[in-house]
A and B are shown apart, each in its own frame.
Chain A
Amino acid sequence: MSDNTKGETKKEGCVGCGCGGGGGGRPAAVPQDARRGFMFKIGAGLLGIGGALAAVPIVGYIVGPARSRYRNQWVDLGATTAFPSGQTRFATFLNPIRQPTDGDAAKTACWVRCVEAGKFQVFAINCAHLGCPVRWFEQSKLFMCPCHGGVYYQDGSRAAGPPPRGLFEYKWKVESGKLLIDAGRLPGLEESV
C-alpha cells in the first residue's frame, strides 16, 4: 500500500493506465484524467471487438444444431414380403442421420402396416402426444401408449386419450421389391402426415 502511494507520487500520470508506471519515465503530456479516460475507451473497444469475434464460434457451436441442416433420407426396411397383407409389423432401422457417438440411440423403430399388397402405412413409434413408444395390439387392432393412455386405430387415426392427432407417418415407396421410408429426424409437429 505504502509502496504504491510512493510510486504514484514519483511517476505522475501513470496511475491506472496499465503501463505499470514504467512508461519510459516520460512526463505526462496529457492531463491525468483525460489520459485515463482515453485508455479506458481503447481497452473497452479492444475487448468488445475481441469478445464479439470470440463469441461467433462459441455461439455458432452451441446453436449449430438449431439451424436445420439435417434432411431425411430414404431408408431400406427390407423386402416387402416381410410385411404380409392386412398385418401390422414391427420394423427397425439405423437412423440415416446418426452421429459416431449415438450408440444404440441411433436405432429406430416403426410400425409397418400393409393395407393390401403394394399399399403401406408406416407409423413412427412415437406417440403423437408426447412421444412415448406406442405398442400394437393385433387382437384389438389398436395402438396403445403406456404414458398417458393414448390409443390409435390400425390406420393410425386417434381413437382415445390425450393425443391431439393421429400417429406420425413416414413417406414410403417400393423399389425393386424393397420397402423404403423417408426417415431421420425425430418425428414432431413439423413432420405432418
Chain B
Amino acid sequence: MNREVILKLLKSPAQWIEERTGVVAFSAPLLFHHVPRSAKWWYVFGSATLMFFTIQIVTGICLGTMYAPSASNAWESLRFIDEEIPFGWMLRALHGWSSSAMVVMMAIHMLQVFMHGSFKFPRELNWITGVFLLLTVLALAFTGQVMRWDQDAYWGLGIGAAIVDRVPVFGDQMRALMLGGPIIGGETLNRFFALHVFILPGAAIALVGLHMTLIIKNGISEMPKPGEIVVPSTYREGFEERMKKTGVPFFPDAVQRDMVFCGVCLLLLVFLAAYYGPFGPGGMPDPTLINTNPRPDYPFMWIFGAVSLLPPASETAIMLVAPVVGIVILVAVPFLANSGERAPSRRPGMMLLAVVVVMAIVALTWEGVTSPWSPVMDGWSALPTPTQFVKGRTPLQMQGAVVFQFAQCRNCHELGGFGGKRGPALDEVATRMSPDQLIRQVQQGGGNMPAFGKNLNSAQMTAIVDFLSTLHPENEADSAIPGAQLPLPIKSPLTMNTVSSGAETPAGIHSR
C-alpha cells in the first residue's frame, strides 16, 4: 500500500462523519477565526475561566455519584467521600478550589474588559452575557456552599432567609419559597441542590454558548490605542479589514498563550487542592450546637463585611435595593459608553471607578475576614489578663481585674492586643476617661456598649473602675486628670453617678 491509499483510508471515515454532521464546518470558525495580532497575554483570562468551568462540570458530575442530597445524610456523605472513597477528598478539593479560581478569573477577565473598553460597540451583548454569567457563577458558589450542609451552610441560609424576610409585603412568602417550607430543613437542601446541579449549570452552559457565539460573530477586540476611536457606523468594516490584513488565526497562533496560561493555572489548582485539601465540611448541621461562628465563603466575604458595616437604620433598604442597583449598573455599562476612546489613558474617570470598586471589595473582604464588629465569644475565658496590667496592683484593683474578666468585657475590648475589637482597646483608657466617666460608661453603657449597671453590684463596680483607672502608660498618675486625687473608695456608684462631674462620654469612644 502506498501513502496515497493509507491517507485515503484514514480520510474516508472522517469524511463520512463530516458529511453527516458538519462538525468541522461548524467548529472551523471557532478554531480558525482571526484574532488581532495585538491580543497578547491580556486575553487569557476568559479561557482560564472556561477551563475552570469545565473542571467544575467534570468534578461536579463525579461528586454527584456519591453525594447524598438529603438533609439527613448530606454531611455524612461528604465525610464518607473525604475519608473512604479513593481520591474523594481530592475531587472535593478540586471542585472547591476550582470554584474559587473561576470566580477570581472571571473578576479579572471582567476588569480587563472594562479597563480596555472592550464592551463598546459592537460587543455590548458580549458584556451583558458576561454579567449574567458572573451572576450565575456567584449563585453557583452560594448554592455550592449550601451543599456542604455544615454549620456555615445552615446559618448562612438563616442569614439569607432573614434578608429575604425583610422584603416588604411578600417577605414571608419569599422566605418560604426560598427555604421550601417554614424552617431550614430537608426541602431547603433539595431546593438548593436542584439549583446547584440542574438549573444554574444549565443556565451557565447556555450563557457560555451565547458568549462564545458572540465572540465569533463580533471578533476579539484589539488592544486599545489612544486615538483609535470606536465609531459604530464604520467600526465593523474597519475591524474586518484589519483582521484580514494583520489578524492571526486563533488556532494555532493565539491559542498558545491561552494554553500556557491555562496550563499554569491547572498545575496551580492541582497543587492547591492536593496541599490544602477540600473545603469543610465544618461542624455538623445541628442547630442546637450554637457554639459556632458562621462565616460565608470568600466570594461573599465582602458582602458580609458590607452588611455588618451598614448603619442599622437604613440597612434593610440598602440590603434589598443595592444588589438590584448594582446589577442594573453592570448591565447598563455598555450603553452608558458605547463608542469613543477605549484606551485607559483617555478614560481616567472610568479607571478611577475601577480602582475604587476593586479597593472597596478588597477592603470589605478584609473587614469581613477580621470582622472587628464581632465579639470574641470566648475572650473572657480564653484570654488571660496580660501580667503587665496586674503587676503591683492593690488587692481592690486585682479584684477589679477579675471582675473585668468575669463580666465578659474582653469579648469586646482588647487588653494588651488580645480581645474583641468591637469596643476600643482599654490599655490606656485611664488617659481618656476620668473615674467618673468610667463609672458612667460602665453603668449606663452608650455608644455601642450595653449598660452594666444592673449586672454589677457596687463592690464590683468600685473594683472594676479602680482597675480601669490604672490602665495608662507607665509612670503616669492613676487618673485622667493629672495630679487629681482618685475619689476612692467609692461608696456607692449609683449615687456617684448622679453627682458626677457631668462630663459627657467623649464622643465616638464606643461607636465603631
Contacts and interface: CB of A to CB of B under 8 A. Distances in A.
A146 B408 contact: no
Contacts of A147: 155, 159, 294, 308, 374
A188 B162 contact: yes
B340 interface: no
Interface stretch (B17-25, B325-333, B449-457): B449-457
A92 interface: yes
Contacts of B284: 104
A116 B163 CA distance: 36
B305 to A, nearest CB: 10
A139 B175 contact: no
Given A101-B71, A131-B158, A148-B373, A140 B166 contact: no
Given A139-B407, A146-B294, A101 B70 contact: yes
Contact of B454 (A106, A141, A188, A190): A141
Contacts of A115: none
A146 B292 CA distance: 8
B109 interface: no
B186 A146 contact: no
A140 B176 contact: no
B345 interface: no
B263 interface: no
A101 B294 contact: no
B375 A141 contact: no
B44 to A, nearest CB: 39
Contact of A105 (B163, B186, B310, B455): B186
Contact of B406 (A102, A108, A139, A151): A139
Given A141-B455, A142-B450, A146-B377, A104 B182 contact: no
B177 A144 contact: no
Interface stretch (A27-35, A48-56, A64-72): A64-72
Contacts of B179: 65, 186
A153 interface: yes
A177 interface: no
B285 A66 contact: no
B445 A140 contact: no
Given A65-B181, A132-B155, A149-B373, A107 B162 contact: no
A103 interface: yes
A104 B292 CA distance: 15
Contacts of A159: 445, 450-451
B323 to A, nearest CB: 15
Nearest to B406: A139
Interface string B133-150: 000000000000000000
A102 B74 CA distance: 11
Interface string A85-127: 0000010100101111111111111000000000000000110
Given A101-B185, A101-B190, A146 B374 contact: yes
Contacts of A105: 71, 154, 183-186, 188, 285-287
B23 to A, nearest CB: 20
Given A101-B185, A141-B454, A186-B184, A66 B374 contact: no
Contact of B448 (A99, A104, A145, A161): A161
B88 to A, nearest CB: 21
Nearest to B512: A149
B315 interface: yes
A173 B406 CA distance: 34
A1 B123 CA distance: 36
B54 interface: no
B126 to A, nearest CB: 33
A166 to B, nearest CB: 13
A72 B35 CA distance: 64
Contacts of A130: 158-159, 162-163, 307
A66 B191 CA distance: 13
B433 interface: no
B171 interface: yes
B258 interface: no
Nearest to A101: B186
Nearest to A136: B290
A74 to B, nearest CB: 16
Contacts of A146: 292-294, 374-375, 377
Interface in A61-83: 62-63, 65-68, 70
A131 B155 contact: yes
B297 interface: no
Contacts of A131: 155, 158-159, 161-162
A97 B294 contact: no
B291 interface: yes
Contacts of A109: 287-288, 290
B72 interface: yes
A134 B375 CA distance: 11
Contact of B187 (A65, A125, A148): A65
A107 B450 CA distance: 31
Contacts of B380: 137, 139
A119 to B, nearest CB: 18
A36 B60 CA distance: 47
A178 interface: no
26 contacts: A65-B182, A68-B172, A68-B182, A98-B185, A99-B186, A99-B187, A101-B187, A105-B183, A107-B286, A108-B288, A130-B162, A135-B377, A140-B409, A142-B450, A144-B375, A146-B377, A148-B374, A149-B412, A160-B449, A164-B312, A184-B182, A186-B179, A186-B184, A188-B171, A189-B172, A190-B165
Task: List the 8 closest A-B pairs by CB distance, nearest first.
Answer: A101-B186, A103-B72, A159-B450, A102-B185, A131-B158, A133-B290, A104-B286, A131-B162
Given A104-B71, A189-B165, 9 more contacts: A63-B177, A95-B185, A98-B183, A101-B187, A107-B286, A137-B408, A160-B450, A188-B171, A190-B171
Interface of B: 70-74, 154-155, 158-159, 161-163, 165-166, 171-177, 179-188, 190, 284-288, 290-294, 307-308, 310, 312, 315-316, 373-375, 377, 380, 406-409, 411-412, 422, 445, 448-452, 454-455
